Amino acid sequence: MNTLHIKIRGVDRKSMPRIAVDGESVKCVKNEFGSYEATVQTARPEAEICVFSLLELRLPLWWLYALISFVVSVFGIFNPPYNRACLVPDVRLKVMLAERTDLSVIFYPARPQQRAAEFETNMPVYEAANVWTLDRIARRRRRILLAFKIVVWLVLAFVAGYFLAKAL
């Protein structure tokens, strides 16, 4: 049985990428230094690793989450902003495994069409993809949400102005 120990560094907690090894999702645990670790055991001599992110605006019920958080956060005042860049890592690689293989994935800052991560390991690594990609659907939904927030704030301003003028 081969053991693959994965360590992810250079990501913030808001954009923690997900990991899939041979098509199965892997649970990552945060260690005391702020990086994430996962251990996978497999009988295969190689492992296909996919590192990806899911933005909140990409989820099926994104509008419901956005609407609830907008109302609960007092019309967006206390709501943290969405990622403006809408960049997600597209990292796919194949690692040859030994009895114990350590793989360290170090992410670079997000820049469109730039290299997403660097890999440190004691075995050969073959990259299929390693780039930051623009999530066009999330970007479009973010713009829709921004337009909705502006319209709601304008309606609130007009309603408040109407009631103030009526009271005077």
State the pLDDT at residue 65: 85
Longest Cα–Cα distance in the chain: 80
Q: Per-residue pLDDT tens for 15-57?
A: 678 889 998 999 888 888 888 899 999 888 899 999 888 888 8
Q: How far apart are CA 111 and CA 130, in angstroms?
A: 12
Q: What is the distance between the alpha carbons of residues 24 and 104, in angstroms, rounded to a whole number? A: 19
Share of the chain above pLDDT 70, in %: 98
- Return the H-helix or E-strand segment holding 165: helix 136-167
Exposure of 151 by Cβ count < 10 A (0-12 exposed, 13-18 middle, 19+ buried)? exposed
First to last CA, the chain: 80
The confidence score (pLDDT) of residue 147 equals 93
For residue 79, give every residue at least 6 positions away whose Cβ sits within 8 Å of its Cβ, in sequence order, or none: 69, 70, 73
